[in-house]
Amino acid sequence: MYQRTELPNGLRIVTEYIPYVRSISLGIWFEVGSRDEEDHERGYSHFIEHMLFKGTKKYSAKEISEIIDMSGGQLNAFTAKEHTCYYVRVLDEYLEVAADILKEMILESLFLDKELEKERSVIVQEINMYDDSPDDLVHDLLYQLLFPNHPLGKDILGPKENILETKRQNLLDYYQKHYTTNNLIIAAAGNVNHQQIIDLFADAFSKLPSNYLAKRRTSITTATGVFQTKEKDIEQVHLCLGGQGLARDDHEKYALFLLDTILGGGASSRLFQELREERGLVYSTYSYHSAYRETGTFGVYAGYGIDDHEYVLDILVSEIRKLATLELDEAEIERAKSLLRGGFLLSLESTVNRMMRVAKAEISERRLVEVDETIDAISLVTSEEVFSLAKRLLDLGNWCGALVGPVPGDVKFKQIIGNN
């Protein structure tokens, strides 16, 4: 059973009661992420996420970890482009313990200088790790190309120089500006009572300000026809091609889910079958989509040997163009629907997934799309709707591309796409 409460200060509480489980997943979500940062603030959202684990008035950093471990639970957090989430999964008997930890982290973190210095070093190493992970780096490069003049194009971790120069007061100012009640969602799923969540958090979080202005939609222009290579002395080439997708509340999103599944969403997808199963050219290849308030992205990825670059790129382009120009087979559509429905239903067996689902539904639509409604929405998409969307989104003339690996600067890239 799904329930929603919005308090006068803007704080929203959403829960889903699942009577047949023993666990509760509890998340504190703030609608702030890397896209909300000014240039001099880049990396602040993620830096604050780190600092909230480093000690409060009541608990040291070690005690936070020990208490959650003693309860048999899991505590984690992540920063995305449009939100930051702190969440815990525990047995239902430890709900009050978990809630107390999260409240302390959000409201009473100390931001000690000695801890800030340690986390500064940790984040620099995290940046280095991503720089050494070409399959991550190539996605960041593509975003930089697609959104060159918008914060969506900036990476979440921020540049090293920002991290090295950030002062305690900088983080506190950013925290006080964005960590407000009308920017906050408390989400819970599992063997949980909605009123209990209200009782645990409403008074405590009334300490937060409620003066944050609501986010407004802005016009975002996605760049087209821009290509970049980054030479790196590694074994494989990592390639991303992509362009504009759909916003998170777009009415065509279920058609997009099917398009993604058909092109590169599973072992029977066109890219996986053609590049890996039939030709043995790649280990990993897939398509993907990301959705934001006003826009989205859709793209493909492949990792392969440099000697096969032109061959792989030619196949990728060919498969994309076929999907955009040849009508879809009904059997392929039905197979994709079955995969989507099955994956969605299986995901509901996790209380963490259920908690994230109700939180993201609140962010996107301020209501939960029921399970049966989601299944029906997938089932009702027609092949004509998927094909129409494919023709619009899979126009390679409007795409950008990024390469990371042992590639010379004059490697063929734009030329191949332009000739297909």
List CB contacts of 383: < 8 A, sequence separation 6 or more. Answer: 327, 328, 329, 330, 333
The pLDDT of residue 207: 87
User: 49 catalytic, yes or no?
Assistant: yes
Residue type, 382: T
Distance CA 333, CA 388 (A): 14
List CB contacts of 169: < 8 A, sequence separation 6 or more. Answer: none
Q: What are phi and psi for residue 243, nearest 5 degrees?
A: -155, -160
Residue type, 48: I
- Helix (H) or strand (E) holding 299, with range, is strand 296-305
Measured in whole angstroms, the distance separating CA 334 from the mean position of its chain's CA atoms is 27
Q: Where in the chain is the domain with CATH 3.30.830.10?
A: 2-205, 227-418
Give the full edge-to-edge strand order of the sheet including 236-244.
227-231, 400-405, 236-244, 296-305, 285-291
Q: With a cut of 50, which residues of the chain have pLDDT below it?
A: none
pLDDT in tens, 238-294: 999 999 999 999 999 999 999 999 999 989 999 999 999 999 999 999 999 999 999
Q: What is the CA radius of gyration of the chain?
A: 23
Nearest to 386 by CA among 339, 347, 334, 338: 334
Helices (H), 149-193: 160-165, 168-178
Nearest to 362 by CA among 18, 16, 101: 16
The pLDDT of residue 213: 60
The pLDDT of residue 220: 84
Task: State the CB neighbour count (10 A cutoff) for residue 381.
Answer: 22
Token representation of residue 84: 């930051």
For residues 1 and 7, is the Cβ–Cβ distance under 8 A?
A: no
For residues 219 and 339, is the Cβ–Cβ distance under 8 A?
A: no
Q: 372 by DSSP, 3-state: which? A: helix
Q: Which of 49, 82, 119, 274 is catalytic?
A: 49
Record: fold of 2-205:
Cytochrome Bc1 Complex; Chain A, domain 1 (3.30.830)
Token representation of residue 118: 């340690």
Distance CA 413, CA 407 (A): 11
pLDDT in tens, 211-239: 766 565 567 888 888 999 999 999 999 99
Residue type, 247: A
- Helix (H) or strand (E) holding 361, with range, is helix 351-364
Nearest to 191 by CA among 14, 1, 17, 4: 17
Q: Return the CATH architecture of domain 227-418.
A: 2-Layer Sandwich (3.30)
Q: How many CA atoms lie within 13 A of 108 on its CB side?
A: 14
For residues 346 and 338, is the Cβ–Cβ distance under 8 A?
A: no
The pLDDT of residue 415: 54
